Amino acid sequence: MAGESPKHSVSVAGVTVRRDGRILTVRRADNGAWEPPGGVLELDEEPQTGVAREVFEETGIKVAIGELTGIYKNMKLGVVALVFRCEPSAGTERTSSESTAVAWLTPDEVQERMSEVFAIRVLDALTGNGPQVRSHDGKRLIPAG
């Protein structure tokens, strides 16, 4: 409709790093892609609360939420993702209706298994120079311009 403001969706994800440096990841049930666990932020939910909920729902792992490490916008879909670094605090890995596998991957395995737009979220969280602000088209990063 003319004059209507564009609608964005906000999602959250947690890059959960274990003491040995491995990262908590899920293989999505809908498309088979490996990603850090996350999902859509609920309207009445604070970002950190949403991260903890999504990570637990998808993996069975409870986390302590750390710093915001990146903001990523899918320019095609209008989805803005807030990514936080987390530490595992309790729980046992299990799959959910949204995941067919849960694995603790090394940074090298993350780069091998994840698409560029998700691997960069993990790498940004590991470097800790954040928060980074990046845009992408769903498949590839768009250079800042």
Q: What is the pLDDT of residues 116-126, one digit of tens each?
A: 999 999 999 99
CATH, residue 20: 3.90.79.10
Residue 1 falls within a domain, yes or no?
no
Residue 24 falls within a domain, yes or no?
yes
Residue 12 clears pLDDT 80, i.e. is over it: yes
Other CB atoms within a 10 A radius of the CB of residue 31 amount to 7
User: Considering only CA atoms, which of 84, 39, 69, 72 is closest in space to residue 141?
Assistant: 72
For the chain, the domain total comes to: 1
The mean pLDDT value for 98-116 works out to 96
Residue 2 falls within a domain, yes or no?
no
The residue segments making up the domain with residue 57 are: 9-140
What type of residue is 56?
F
Predicted pLDDT at 5 = 74
| pLDDT confidence band for 109 (50 / 70 / 90) | very high
Predicted pLDDT at 129 = 85
